[in-house]
Amino acid sequence: MTSIAKNVTILLVEDDPGHARLVEKNLRRANLTNPIVQLGDGRQAIDYLFREGPYSGNPIPANLLVLLDLNLPVMDGYQVLRRLKENASTQRIPVIVLTTTDDTREIDRCYDLGCNVYITKPVDYEGFCEAIRKLGLFLSVVAIPKERTNGHE
């Protein structure tokens, strides 16, 4: 089994710059060398994923994996997840929800909306770093689907 394909871009949607830095740093510590695009709010994520606004006309990477916080400004993670999973051109993009919310109703809601994995961020620094390193190890062995072209596999 090979590690996550190097041509998979990780889209990190996280509004806290400190958390974003820690996520990237600890994914790198887990030997992930994939490109990481970091965006700070849900609207930016939608613009990026659907080539709207400032990303209009720009190609997006063929293979994406999204790390999505729920508590985002402008448009929250639930709205991003719903839009992503309702659209045939983006519904197969794997989404890992990475958030501090551990309420079982919120977890159920995310799975109902189509998230692939739900991870609660530990609030303490060491726990957070360890969780992200473990996520990196998980990502190093997970396989993701290829992007569909024109709605066909």
The domain that holds 55 is classified in CATH as 3.40.50.2300
Strand partners, 98: 119
Residue 148 domain flag: no
Residue 61 domain flag: yes
- The predicted structure's pLDDT at residue 149: 47
Q: How do the residues of the chain divide into helix, strand and coil, expressed in percent and rounded to 5? A: 40, 20, 40
Residue 131 domain flag: yes
Residue 89 domain flag: yes
What the block records as the tokens of 150 is: 């024109």
Residue 2 domain flag: no
Q: What is the arithmetic mean of pLDDT over 23-31? A: 90
CB 110 within 8 A of CB 118: yes
Q: What is the arithmetic mean of pLDDT over 16-45? A: 92
Neighbour count for residue 27 (Cβ, 10 Å): 23
Q: What is the arithmetic mean of pLDDT over 5-24? A: 90
The structural domain count of the chain equals 1
Confidence of residue 151 (pLDDT cuts 50, 70, 90): very low
Neighbour count for residue 40 (Cβ, 10 Å): 18
Residue 147 domain flag: no
Domain span including residue 67: 8-104+113-140
Residue 29 domain flag: yes
Write down the pTM of the prediction.
Answer: 0.88
Distance of alpha carbon 39 from alpha carbon 28, whole angstroms: 18
Question: pLDDT tens, 106-145?
Answer: 999 999 999 999 999 888 889 888 888 888 888 877 777 7
Residue 151 domain flag: no
Pairing of strands 8-13, 36-39: parallel
